[in-house]
Amino acid sequence: MVSHCISNAGATSCKTEMKPVKKAIIIGAGIGGIATSIRLAAKGYHVEVFEKNAFPGGKLHVIEKDGFTFDAGPSLFTEPENIVELFGLAGEKWEDHFSFTSLDLSFNYYYENGKVIRAFTNIDALANEVHEQTSENKIAIKKYLNNAAKAYAGLGDVFLNYPLHKWRTWFHPRILKAIKGLRLGYLIGSLHEYNRKSFKSPELIQLFNRFATYNGSNPYVAPGMLSMIPHLELGQGTFFPKGGMISITNALKNLADRLGVVFHFNQEVDAIVSKEGKIKGISIKETIHESDVVVSNMDVYYTYSKLLRDAKKSDKVLKNERSSSACIFYWGIKKGFDHMHLHNIFFAQDYEQEFQDLFKHKQLHADPTVYVNITSKFESGLSPEGHENWFVMVNAPANDQLDWNAAQPMIRQAIIEKMNRMLKTDLEKLIITEHVMTPMDIQKTTSSYLGSLYGSSSNSTWSAFLRHANDNSDIKGLYFTGGSVHPGGGIPLCLKSAKIVSNMISP
Ligand SMILES: Cc1cc2nc3c(=O)[nH]c(=O)nc-3n(C[C@H](O)[C@H](O)[C@H](O)COP(=O)(O)OP(=O)(O)OC[C@H]3O[C@@H](n4cnc5c(N)ncnc54)[C@H](O)[C@@H]3O)c2cc1C
């Protein structure tokens, strides 16, 4: 219903016209799909989401076993404002539905030489800690993070908040600000080279190299531009959502419900239907569901290969190297490790070789970097009293040729030996429950090609331009959202992709 009002000599008369409500279908209830559903519902669309799983969230879901609750996928929460904004669109107060705390300490980094660096989110505290542990010049770290902040505000704004494939993005005054913040080291040379020029300490170079893994990339190949990523975590802050990461999915799904979005679970979409270059809808088991707009939150590779059966376009997607995947062990531990934090990294000794193995040889590294996330440190009820819920993750190649029956016990043993060595413990005896997720499990549950966590990697200076756009040039009314398309993977970027795509769709 649309109202046109005219004011004349103090009197207002309105004529109400019945205008049909437009319909949008979203394929997949990942975080990008749910956020897009909220934005389109707030615009007045009737939105229906078709999800193949029985639950929402995609990678952002939860695993419960033997009294332990584990976040299944994402564990690091940054840029909560992307979520806060969604409640604002619906005219709601986010505080009534979602809660998070800001962390003083983002990560504990453990090195094989016995050093431990606590990465504080206060820049002075971080500079002091790093100076104490590695003798690195305090100015160097402050300068690095200040440059990261400037790059994020200029280049980051253009690359992450607007469609890169539209001319209007490039003819806007904000481009000047972005160019001013551009440094040669961002384009020429790898992130590792940029970090090597910025710091003397090998521990600090390794620490800042790790940020390439935030979008599943190789720091020895990915451009220095990725040096802006630490600004998100160390500059803007690291947060913990009350109830764990699953509370993000739950809060947004409930918000979508309140806006009238209709979710259909256990409904796998088989095809996207179009006619004469215009979207018609989707089909499930030969039933067509018509719609004015279709937004696919399914991995763009599979959207082309399975739903559009377009071999040429799906091959083109693969020209951009896949991001890394992961192998995750969810362990119930019958002990508390007091010196460990929410986020803990146990670094590989030969970091460069680890990435050679992952990206060049497409195999697991024998001494992997191990990430341990323990949410029960922040939230009671996620593990039994005196126990901890360990989410233990190693990077793995996006590769379907690995024999996981053989690889899984081998990498498990390597992790246990490393943890025993670095924590001086006997971990095997402390594990009382276990669940495992391999890249092939990630592919199966979320239809992410080869189980890659972040769609495509940023292993080239031009990756941002090679990542698929949020619309389709051949089919009017077909759009894409989520980690496999622009601006990329990770919760903040998936939420930004929902914003970009809904801004492209007319009201
Ligand atoms: C182990 C792991 C750790 C991670 N760590 C972090 C982290 O710490 N911080 C962070 O920000 N990010 C992290 N990420 C990345 C982050 O989880 C993803 O980028 C993000 O959740 C992807 O969301 P998405 O919207 O692209 O959809 P996805 O989560 O990929 O969901 C897509 C949805 O579409 C559904 N679907 C697919 N095909 C169909 C079909 N044909 N019909 C119907 N439904 C379909 C799937 O079932 C799924 O529910 C991690 C990911 C993993 C797996």
Q: Where are the domains of the chain?
A: 1-60+245-322+456-507
Atom of ligand 1 nearest to the CA of 306: 41
Q: Is the CB of 443 under 6 A from ligand 1?
A: no
**What separation in Å is there between the alpha carbon of 294 and the centre of ligand 1?**
19
Q: Is the CB of 297 under 6 A from ligand 1?
A: yes
> Tell me: the pLDDT tens digits for 58-73?
999 999 999 999 999 9
> What is the rounded CA–CA span in Å between residue 368 and residue 188?
28
Superfamily of chain region 1-60+245-322+456-507: FAD/NAD(P)-binding domain (3.50.50.60)
Average pLDDT over residues 160-179: 80
> Tell me: the pLDDT tens digits for 258-286?
999 999 999 999 999 999 999 999 999 99
**What separation in Å is there between the alpha carbon of 483 and the centre of ligand 1?**
7
Average pLDDT over residues 439-466: 93
pLDDT of residue 28: 98
pLDDT of residue 2: 44
Instruction: Fill in the amino acid letter for 86.
Output: L
Q: Is the CB of 58 under 6 A from ligand 1?
A: yes
Nearest residue by C-alpha to atom 27 in ligand 1: 30
Q: Is the CB of 327 under 6 A from ligand 1?
A: no
pLDDT at 5 over 50: no
Average pLDDT over residues 366-393: 97
- CB-based burial, 124-159: b 16+ in 10 Å, e otherwise: eebbebbbebbebebebbeebbebbbbbbebbbbbb
pLDDT of residue 1: 46
- For the chain, the 3-state helix, strand and coil shares in percent, each to the nearest 5, are 40, 25, 35
**What separation in Å is there between the alpha carbon of 38 and the centre of ligand 1?**
17
Nearest residue by C-alpha to atom 35 in ligand 1: 28
pTM: 0.94
**What separation in Å is there between the alpha carbon of 292 and the centre of ligand 1?**
25
Nearest residue by C-alpha to atom 16 in ligand 1: 490
Q: Is the CB of 490 under 6 A from ligand 1?
A: yes
CB 246 within 8 A of CB 57: yes
**What separation in Å is there between the alpha carbon of 58 and the centre of ligand 1?**
5
pLDDT of residue 9: 53
> Tell me: the pLDDT tens digits for 312-350?
999 999 988 999 999 999 999 999 999 999 999 999 999
Residues whose CB is less than 8 angstroms from the CB of residue 77 and which lie 6 or more positions away in sequence, other chains included: 100, 238, 239, 240, 241, 245, 248, 491
Nearest residue by C-alpha to atom 53 in ligand 1: 73
pLDDT of residue 158: 84
pLDDT at 31 over 50: yes
Q: Is the CB of 252 under 6 A from ligand 1?
A: no
Q: Is the CB of 446 under 6 A from ligand 1?
A: yes
pLDDT at 8 over 60: no
> Tell me: the pLDDT tens digits for 413-447?
999 999 999 999 999 999 999 999 999 999 999 99
Residues whose CB is less than 8 angstroms from the CB of residue 360 and which lie 6 or more positions away in sequence, other chains included: none
The 8-class DSSP code of residue 59 comes to T
pLDDT of residue 420: 98
**What separation in Å is there between the alpha carbon of 326 and the centre of ligand 1?**
13
pLDDT band of residue 172 (cuts 50, 70, 90) is confident
Q: Is the CB of 75 under 6 A from ligand 1?
A: yes
Q: Is the CB of 453 under 6 A from ligand 1?
A: yes
Q: Which of 342, 446, 502 to mutate to test the pocket of ligand 1 (most atoms within 8 A of CB)?
A: 446
Q: Chain centroid to CA 377: how far?
A: 23
Average pLDDT over residues 402-414: 96
Average pLDDT over residues 96-100: 97
Atom of ligand 1 nearest to the CA of 270: 41
